[in-house]
A and B are shown apart, each in its own frame.
Chain A
Amino acid sequence: MTVEHDIEAMDQFPVGMRVLAVDDDQTCLRILETLLHRCQYHVTTTDKAQTALELLRENKNKFDLVISDVDMPDMDGFKLLERVGLEMDSPVIMLSAHSDPKYVMKGVKHGACDYMLKPVRIEELKNIWQHVVRKSKFKKMKSIVTNGESEGNSDQNGVRANRKRKDQSEEEDEDEEEEEEQERGNEKKPRVIWTRELHNKFLAAVDHVGVKNAVPKKILELMNVDNLTRENVGSHLQKFRLALKKINNEANMAAANSHFTQMSSLKGLGSFHHYRPTPLGSSQFHGGAATMRHYPSNRTFAGMFPHFKSSLPRNHNDGGYMLQGKPFPSLETLHITNNNNNKAFPSFTSPQSSPLVASSNHLVLEGHQQSSFPSFSPHLEINKRLEDWSNAVYSNNIPQSNVHSKPDALEWNMDTTKTTSFCRDTDFGSSNAAQADFLDPFQMKQQHENILDPMTVAELSRSSSADEGLFMGQQKLENNFMASDAGSLDDIVNSMMTQV
């Protein structure tokens, strides 16, 4: 179907809908043809399945709908159905004199949109256009998802798409997101203002490749931001690394916190394990946190916790970072989802989690130490802040080592090239926090660069899903995060970022 044709047809749809009718019985075919004409469809008939396939292959868009008999001598109607489904993806309606449910079932299994019994009545044919609409709507949705991402359309689309697909395989999402990033990533224009948003992206990118492997070029690609040069990224990265070292050192000092005990038990945050930088925006957040993905870019670990509670202002609007006003998904959820697929960050339940979060943050910061979170104190503070997050899960999660390390946050960060709010990259969990904020913890992390291997961080954040949440919350904490120890981080972050 040409576009013009589509437009024309759609104007009067369903009038003029193009139907291909296939039936070896000439009597039935003639009747069907007349009935369809009566419905004002455009009809083409053939009594051979093979001819039908040829007609369809000739021009995949030639017909809107296919109606086919089941029992045909040259080809089983079900086979035709399959072929059409595979090759053209047009809606197919089966027609048969068999009312046996097993045939109906077979039809459904082979992908038929509908199964009609002979004799066909005109009333039934009057409604068949619904299948065309349904199918094209579905296709459109799919193509929006893929096109949006591949064309680098508004981030919103991409993110939304990602969220929509969060239920679909993460990998798909991630792949697409990555692809998207790469596809879009190479425009370079000078841009030197490191806003939180930008920093969040940076963090996401770093997480993705790993702090150790972070090279400006890759980061730039992953960030997929216009007007950014490799040099910009390079110098920023350098600062970041320094900050991270500093953070790590500080984090280590802060450790001794009862809150952290729990965390420590995590042992390297088993739960946090593996922070997988997954592109932001991937559906990871699920657990209800899908929306969390976009964290208000300000503050805190923008990338760390993908799921920030809504309290954080959201800069990015794609889709929904839950942070704003949405409860964090329970940690459990996050946790679980993490396990499954970097899904959204677990909801961080409240206060409880905060410590955990903190710890996780800490972990994140610490970089991997997967084993203990020495300095949680800053986190603690943050955690407290995160109180409003319902982090029940978080607390639960902490002990769980299976938190999939791939922090959704990462994914989250990563994929939303646009979502600046997440800085998910770092495990900080605060994923979106504005880059600036995010930097702080992240910086800390960074400081302990060794510890905070991005992956680790990711893991941490992941596992701690709560962490993620926490970070999110942290974002909320406007610059409060890591209060105590954060001070240094704040400084670091702030220094790194241009306060916006």
Chain B
Amino acid sequence: MNTVVAQLQRQFQDYLVSLYQQGFLDNQFTELRKLQDEGTPDFVAEVVSLFFDDCSKLINSMSRSLERPENVDFKQVDSGVHQLKGSSSSVGARRVKNVCISFKECCDVQNREGCLRCLQQVDYEYKMLKTKLQDLFNLEQQIVQAGGAIPQVNIN
């Protein structure tokens, strides 16, 4: 039992560290994890879930705005990018945030092609992160179910 828990914990830790190392997550995610406690055990899961919802909605609306080449509402796109940037930076979704920076630049110069590419990339990145975090939460759940505690991971 202990070994199982220890093993799971080890797995968890390694996985989390790799996410940081691969740039999926940054310090802000660490801060979110810190806010989670006994009183709010699902805090991080809740927040990232909200985030992914937002992503989905924003991407859809931006996609609609960029749809017709002759009639692109860059203002709306810009607003969407801005919001996405804000929320991604707040949860620590580093890669998503970085794409948003490029995305904004394309928007500023009204580069529809560029925007579409960025849009695609954002979509890819958020879905990727969603999968990764899902795996992480699953590991957490297993640890808890095995009677263990979620390890505090120190990211350098």
- Same complex for A and B? Answer yes
Residues on A close to B: CB < 8 A? Answer: 24-28, 30-31, 34-35, 38, 69, 71, 73, 96-98, 118-122
Given contacts A34-B40, A34-B43, contact A28 B31 (CB under 8 A): no
Q: Is the CB of A97 within 8 A of B82?
A: yes
Q: Which of B53, B86, B89 has the most CB of A within 10 A?
A: B86
Q: Which of B35, B53, B79, B82 contacts A35 (CB 8 A)?
A: B35
Q: List 18 A-B contacts (CB under 8 A).
A: A25-B86, A27-B87, A27-B90, A27-B91, A28-B87, A30-B46, A30-B50, A31-B91, A34-B43, A34-B47, A97-B85, A97-B86, A97-B89, A118-B86, A118-B89, A119-B90, A120-B90, A122-B35
Bound-complex Cα distance A69 to B54 (A): 16
Q: Is the CB of A28 within 8 A of B35?
A: no
Whether a CB of chain A sits under 8 angstroms from the CB of B12 is no
Q: A26-B50, A27-B51, A30-B50 are in contact. List 19 more A-B contacts (CB 8 A).
A: A25-B90, A27-B47, A27-B54, A27-B90, A28-B87, A28-B90, A31-B35, A34-B40, A34-B43, A34-B47, A38-B35, A71-B79, A71-B82, A71-B83, A73-B79, A98-B82, A118-B89, A120-B90, A122-B31
Bound-complex Cα distance A27 to B40 (A): 16
Whether a CB of chain A sits under 8 angstroms from the CB of B32 is yes
Bound-complex Cα distance A122 to B91 (A): 13
List B contacts of A24 (CB < 8 A): 83
The closest CB in chain A to the CB of B36 belongs to A34
Q: Which of A27, A38, A96, A120 contacts B50 (CB 8 A)?
A: A27
Bound-complex Cα distance A97 to B89 (A): 9
Whether a CB of chain A sits under 8 angstroms from the CB of B28 is yes
List B contacts of A98 (CB < 8 A): 82
Q: Is the CB of A121 within 8 A of B89?
A: no
List A contacts of B43 (CB < 8 A): 34
Q: Is the CB of B47 within 8 A of A30?
A: yes
Q: Is the CB of B90 within 8 A of A31?
A: yes
The closest CB in chain A to the CB of B86 belongs to A97
List A contacts of B87 (CB < 8 A): 25, 27-28
List B contacts of A26 (CB < 8 A): 50, 53-54
List A contacts of B51 (CB < 8 A): 27
Given contacts A25-B54, A71-B83, contact A119 B89 (CB under 8 A): yes
List B contacts of A31 (CB < 8 A): 32, 35, 47, 90-91
Bound-complex Cα distance A119 to B51 (A): 13
Bound-complex Cα distance A321 to B31 (A): 57
Bound-complex Cα distance A73 to B31 (A): 28
Q: Is the CB of B28 within 8 A of A119?
A: yes
From residue 48 to 94 of chain B, which have CB atoms closer than 8 A to chain A? 50-51, 53-54, 79, 82-83, 85-87, 89-92
Q: Is the CB of B31 within 8 A of A121?
A: yes
Q: Closest CB-CB distance, A31 to chain B, in whole Å? A: 5
List B contacts of A73 (CB < 8 A): 79
The closest CB in chain B to the CB of A117 belongs to B89
Bound-complex Cα distance A38 to B33 (A): 13
List A contacts of B86 (CB < 8 A): 25, 28, 69, 96-97, 118
List B contacts of A27 (CB < 8 A): 47, 50-51, 54, 87, 90-91
- 0 or 1 for each of B108-136: is its CB under 8 Å from A? (1 = yes): 00000000000000000000000000000
Q: Closest CB-CB distance, B54 to chain A, in whole Å? A: 5
List A contacts of B40 (CB < 8 A): 34
Bound-complex Cα distance A121 to B90 (A): 9
List B contacts of A97 (CB < 8 A): 82-83, 85-86, 89
Q: Is the CB of B83 within 8 A of A25?
A: yes
Q: Closest CB-CB distance, A103 to chain B, in whole Å? A: 11
List A contacts of B54 (CB < 8 A): 25-27
Q: Closest CB-CB distance, A106 to chain B, in whole Å? A: 15
Bound-complex Cα distance A69 to B82 (A): 12
List A contacts of B85 (CB < 8 A): 97
Bound-complex Cα distance A120 to B86 (A): 10
Bound-complex Cα distance A26 to B90 (A): 11
Bound-complex Cα distance A97 to B87 (A): 9
The closest CB in chain B to the CB of A23 belongs to B86
Bound-complex Cα distance A97 to B83 (A): 8
List A contacts of B28 (CB < 8 A): 119
Q: Closest CB-CB distance, A387 to chain B, in whole Å? A: 70
